[in-house]
Structure 1
Amino acid sequence: MSDLAKLKNVGKAALADFAVLGVTSTAQLAACEADDLYVKLCALTGQRHDPCVHDVFAATIHEARTGEALDWWVFTPSRKERMKAGAFCVGN
């Protein structure tokens, strides 16, 4: 079992997304940025994913870097603020 599966916000869908992205470990994930992963996922799949996927990426990256397991929706308000300001990365 991948160590990614042990992260709080990782289920089957997130594991599938990480597989598409080529992310195979928490160490690799810790070096990632949520914006980059979201944009890359949208590009690789040819579709715009729900912005909440970005929040899951942010939460899992945070946990991989700090060990602190927060719910993914903790990261939603900051993403929504960035969306309002036009500063959120928009995939496809």
Structure 2
Amino acid sequence: MTTLDQAARRRVAIKSPKAASASACEALEQLPNVGPAMAGDLRQLGVHTPQHLIGQDAWQLYRALEQATGKRQDPCVLDTLMAVIDFMQGAEPKPWWAYTAERKRQHGQCLGLPPA
């Protein structure tokens, strides 16, 4: 394989096209809002395909990720989990920040935020 071929493969892996619907989503990296790092976090939690997200609880995955990594996760990770679960359950793709207000309403107190 030439160096050019290797470089092209790396770009393809990094720039996976995003799925327009849950039924078209075959790899974690095809989920809207998910890049290589988030896909790795999901795999660390045992989520290996987008279909594994159906019926999951974003808060439980968020807490499990904190336990698995031993680190506090940014609340935007919870927004992203909410977004990908919603998408896999049939919602239109939305940016993760579209879930921030909902996250604050549902989980703000657990995250130490003042009541909304």
Query: Per the shorter chain, which TM-score range?
Result: 0.7 to 0.9
Q: TM-score, normalised by structure 2?
A: 0.68
* Residue identity opposite 1:51 in structure 2: P
Question: 1:80 offset after TM fit, Å?
Answer: 2.0
Unaligned runs of 5+ in 2: 1-12, 14-25
- What is aligned with 1:32? 56
Higher relative contact order, chain-length normalized (CA < 8 Å, sep 6+): 1
What does residue 89 of structure 2 align with? 65
Instruction: Answer whether contact 1:35 1:89 (CA < 8 A) is retained.
Output: no
- Runs of 4+ residues over 2 Å off in structure 1: none
The 2-side partners of 1:89 and 1:36 are apart by: 13
1:78 corresponds to: 102
> Radius of gyration: which is bigger?
2
Count of residue pairs the alignment pairs up: 87
> SS in structure 2 opposite 1:77?
helix
Q: Which has the higher helix share?
A: 1
Residue among 41, 53, 66 paired with 2:65: 41
Find the residue that maps to 1:66 and give its secondary structure: coil
In the TM superposition, residue 36 of structure 1 has moved relative to its aligned partner by 0.6
**Structure 1 unaligned blocks of 5 or more:** none
RMSD: 1.8
Alignment of 1:2-21 (within 5 A): 3-21=27-45
| Aligned partner (choices 51, 66, 79) of residue 55 of structure 1 | 79
> What is the TM-score of this pair, normalised by structure 1?
0.84
Partner of 2:18: none
